[in-house]
Chains A and B, each alone.
Chain A
Amino acid sequence: MIAQRSRFLDLAALAALERKRFSPKRRIEGSYSGRHVSRVQGGSGEFVDYREYSGGEDLRRVDWKVFGRTGKAFVRLFQDETNLLCTLAVDSSASMKFGEAPRSSGAKRAKSKLEYAQWLSTAFSHIISHGQDQVGLAVLGSELRDWLPPGGTSSHVARIQELLERIDTIPTMQMSRSLLQLFERSPGRGVLLLLSDLLMEDLQETFAALRLFRHRGWEVVILHLVHPDEERLPPGVAFCFQGLEGEGEVICSPAEIAVQYETRFAAFLAMTRQFALSAGCDYRLVNTAVPYLHTLGDFLIERSG
């Protein structure tokens, strides 16, 4: 039975990015041979598999005989190359739903951070799996809500995309425990791609958990999702701000606190960036106003080998 495609999977839009590969910046330890430089030192290696040629690869690795027979270019994979094990960790706290209600007068409906994360992580799962790499999923809340270990089969990816589509937020401001649970379940090494707004009370514990991944040799990439309406308060006379994390509500006039709020939020962003860099993580501030495809494209370009 063919699973219904996720609504967050736009194959037409992703077609242009399929040729790009998500390349880790560090040597990885993969399950299979892949195009990524393996942590395992290898010489010629044992032939293990064919893989379709993608632009930019070394032509000497193309198996011309197969080309002659099939008309398609394939490269020979040896055991000194391995594949990417990438785990997508998506924050499912209630604050990720921010941006859901239409506020702006623009024609386009704004996306919430969660939606953005769903689009982006779905796109990541497709790109990664398309590159013969393996992708897993962890849905983070106060606990590890859902977890799929990295895998490369189409059904596995479909499952991941399905879970991504069904993510529902819960009001929580804790994430460190779920990361610790993920860490316990993730032996070996790989890449952890964390999509979160980092609006949590246990920020330091969270980064401590991320340092554990780094200590094990994981590459951690933090995509810090920020909605444009979070950086500055909207204009108005009076608002009753309701915290999405169940913090209650506050009535105030944005004009009275706008400047101080922006200052505080900017300081928060700087602090999280500093935490991330000091933990050895790769940090990217992602504005959800930027289309996810641009974000993904820029990311892949930067990461391409």
Chain B
Amino acid sequence: MLLNPWALFFLTAAGIPLAVHFLTRPRPVVLPISTLRFVREVIQQRRARHWLRDILTLIARTLAVILVVLAIARPKSGQEPLVSRDETADAVRVVLVDVSQSLSAVDGGTELFEHARAAAAEQLQYRPNLRANLILAGASPRAVFDQPSQNFDALRDELARTAHRPESVDVLRALSMAAEMLAPRDEADQRKRELVIVSDFQRANWAQADFSVLARDTSIQLESVAPKLPLANLGISAVRFVGQTTEQDGGRVEVDVGNWSPVTQTVTVEVQAGDSTRRLTGNCPAGRQTTLSDEFTLSELGWHTGVARLAFGGDALAADDEIALAVEVHPRLTYLLITRQPETLRPSSSHFLECALAPDDSAGTPHVVRTSPDKVDTEMLATADLIVIDHPGSLNPEMVQLLAAAMRRGKPLLYLAAEATDATTMQRLSSDLGRGIRLPVTFQPFPKGQHRRDQSLMSFKYDSRPFNALGENAAELVRDWRFGGGLISHPVPETLLDDVLATYADGSACLIFSLSDTSALAVLNADLGISNLPSRAAFVPLIDELTQLLTERRSIVTIPNCGQSLMVRLPVAGVTSQSLEIVGPPSADGDAELGELHDESGSVIWRWPAIGKPGVYRVCQNKATVFAIAVSAPAEESQLDTLSADVLQNRLVTGNAVFYRDAADTSQPHDPWWTWLTVGCLACLFGELATLLVFRT
């Protein structure tokens, strides 16, 4: 492509040096000479040299002329933009603007989003025969209009009001939305289809982009606002409290810090929750995430909110230097032991279990409440941190439903399947839980007259909890364990066999641990009363580890990121949604939507279509916090590395016409051709001079 194609006419001037060479060749004067012998001998020596000199000089001169002409013609390298303001043909255009958090990164004092806004506005200028629409692509992409319109003013106004959000971008949904808008109305629709994507093309979001949803004749113009050099960034990805955070126990706080810079950094994170503050310091190697952790003690019961903040500042993305946290300090754990065995019956399975659950009366020891199945009610289940069932006898369906409801509300369950009736109970429980938990095995009682006795373990997961608490000698410790009672188990196809933590020599499962999204269920398929496990030193540590495994999930509630939808069952009992109120962080807008509370099946469900700004959101009852979540932007938004033009054009976009432009580069386009052609011309002239000097006579 040439800027001044008319200049090519002057390529004919390349013949001038040749013409000059031949026209100015001196006309030789005819001169007789006595003999040509000497002349010929000398000329033979010098003719090749002179011929070379003439050829080189001619080439240099001709090339110089050609290069000058080309320099004037101004060839343009690379492609032309697919979307042009000068086109007059009918067209429909969708401008897709990435509003994810990564665009709040600052490069050269300017947010990337400002470049994006300017680039998008340029594509929303009025032009006859053009209809356009604007898609703001975040976690939930949103189009300004349902269909492309000619109301460019409204589109630009919306663009001017738009800001980046603490979200990632759902690329697939955004592209699908654009494809719908660009789809031809009918067979007669021959308009030019244009999709302009304005983004930093962050690798975390765009690496999985699928452009095949777009029609083949859609022209795709990629306006990149990515900085020329990768931006260095430090960001907090997540903060967690692990371990049972009780009033007596101390827990641990873990902070994931991503060092997306080229050098190792010493990072200090200040964690403040309630009245406690802790500074965590550590080295974070370049290019990856590092977890800093420390003991963390909260002295008061209930919910504590706070923030984890990077002491280092001044990186490209300030939004991820701070993350909200919410943690609940629980009172002393209460284990509800449901059993028909009398408390005075000793030795008995329930007795052994009770001793293992509460080995002593120290302050940190859970409180075990023993009850019979007939006395169990909803409130009792609500106050328990762990439900333990051992020798319950035959449980009626209502009781099983209560247990299932409690599990759905987040209560973990440890079931010792010792008797034949436990098989029925397990079946009912599994049925009531539905798809909440899928047990990897089904249980059935032994045929009459048969039962398990002196059964050893064939296999166990020694490197997983709870068995890893036994240390390196686990195999030796387990070798003389003998179990009795329990049920026959059969594996269920298409379930997680990893949930079977130990297996008997007869092939039945010994210990199962399954998780649901709200709770956990562990089944110990044995009668402790006729097993020798309670007499082994490993019994108490094993039960302790198992109960910790069951109860610590209570501290972890998977909360979606900003922009995503939320649905969580509140871990409260005996309240209705009318008595509860949702309170947002101070940074949230006063009229921002905070979701809604609904009553369902005796629980309160909090539904929020799109989580708002980062911070702590609390559900309060009479000003007291009963539940809290800390939301943040997705961790991947901290990784600011972007996809290159080559990857976008050649690997992701296939089958469509595509043009990539660096929209962030506001400098005048450097015209390398002019420079190189001029340099080439000068080089030819100098080359000619050098030739004449070298071959001078």
Contacts and interface: CB of A to CB of B under 8 A. Distances in A.
A231 to B, nearest CB: 11
Interface stretch (B28-36, B358-366, B381-389, B553-561): B28-36
A244 B33 contact: yes
Interface in B2-39: 25-39
Nearest to B697: A256
Contacts of B28: 238-240, 251-252
B50 A95 contact: no
A181 interface: no
Interface residues of A, number: 40
A2 B337 CA distance: 172
Contact of B42 (A197, A238, A249, A264): A264
B598 interface: no
Contacts of A97: 32
Nearest to B30: A240
A261 B37 CA distance: 10
B461 interface: no
Interface in B236-263: none
A239 B31 contact: yes
B36 A257 contact: no
A251 B40 CA distance: 10
B160 interface: no
Given A243-B36, A244-B34, A260 B46 contact: yes
Contacts of A239: 28-31
A229 to B, nearest CB: 9
Interface string B29-72: 11111111111111101100010000000000000000000000
A95 B34 contact: yes
B29 A257 contact: no
A234 interface: yes
A253 B45 CA distance: 14
Contacts of B37: 199, 247
Contacts of B45: 260
Q: Which of A95, A173, A257 has the most CB of B within 10 A?
A: A257
Contacts of B33: 98, 230, 241-244
A268 B34 contact: no
B697 A255 contact: yes
Contacts of A189: none
A268 B35 CA distance: 12
A230 B34 contact: yes
Contact of A248 (B27, B29, B36, B50): B36
A101 interface: yes
A111 interface: no
A242 B41 CA distance: 15
B31 A252 contact: no
Contacts of B36: 241, 243, 245, 247-250
A257 B31 contact: no
A67 interface: no
A241 B39 contact: yes
A236 B37 CA distance: 20
B26 A237 contact: yes
B50 A244 contact: no
A95 B31 contact: no
Nearest to B49: A256
A140 B31 CA distance: 25
A268 B38 contact: yes
B29 A236 contact: yes
A264 B32 contact: no
A29 B583 CA distance: 151
Nearest to A267: B38
Nearest to A260: B42
A261 B35 contact: no
Contacts of B42: 257, 260-261, 264
Contacts of A173: 35
Nearest to B31: A239
Given A199-B37, A261-B38, A256 B31 contact: no
Contacts of A103: 31
A126 interface: no
A173 B36 CA distance: 12
A35 interface: no
Given A250-B39, A256-B50, A242 B26 contact: no
A50 interface: no
Contacts of A234: 31
A265 interface: yes
A197 B33 CA distance: 13
A242 B43 CA distance: 14
A242 B39 contact: no
Contacts of A264: 38, 41-42
A36 interface: no
B35 A95 contact: yes
A227 interface: yes
Contacts of A236: 29
A260 B39 CA distance: 9
Nearest to A113: B34
Contacts of B38: 261, 264-265, 268
B46 to A, nearest CB: 6
Residue among B27, B28, B35 with most chain A CB within 10 A: B35
A267 to B, nearest CB: 9
B46 A257 contact: yes
A252 B39 CA distance: 9
A28 to B, nearest CB: 33
A248 to B, nearest CB: 7
A96 B27 CA distance: 27
Nearest to B45: A260
Interface string A250-287: 11110111001100110010000000000000000000
B696 to A, nearest CB: 10
A300 B384 CA distance: 153
Contact of A243 (B25, B26, B35, B46): B35
Nearest to B25: A238
B697 A242 contact: no
B43 A240 contact: no
A239 B46 CA distance: 16
27 contacts: A95-B34, A96-B34, A97-B32, A173-B35, A199-B35, A233-B39, A238-B26, A239-B29, A239-B31, A240-B28, A241-B32, A241-B33, A241-B39, A243-B34, A244-B34, A245-B34, A247-B36, A247-B37, A248-B36, A249-B36, A250-B40, A253-B26, A256-B50, A260-B42, A261-B38, A261-B39, A264-B38
Sort A-B residue pairs by CB-CB distance and give the 3 closest, nearest first. Answer: A98-B34, A243-B36, A238-B26
Given A239-B30, A256-B50, A264-B42, 12 more contacts: A199-B37, A227-B34, A233-B39, A238-B27, A239-B29, A239-B31, A240-B28, A241-B36, A241-B39, A244-B35, A256-B697, A268-B38
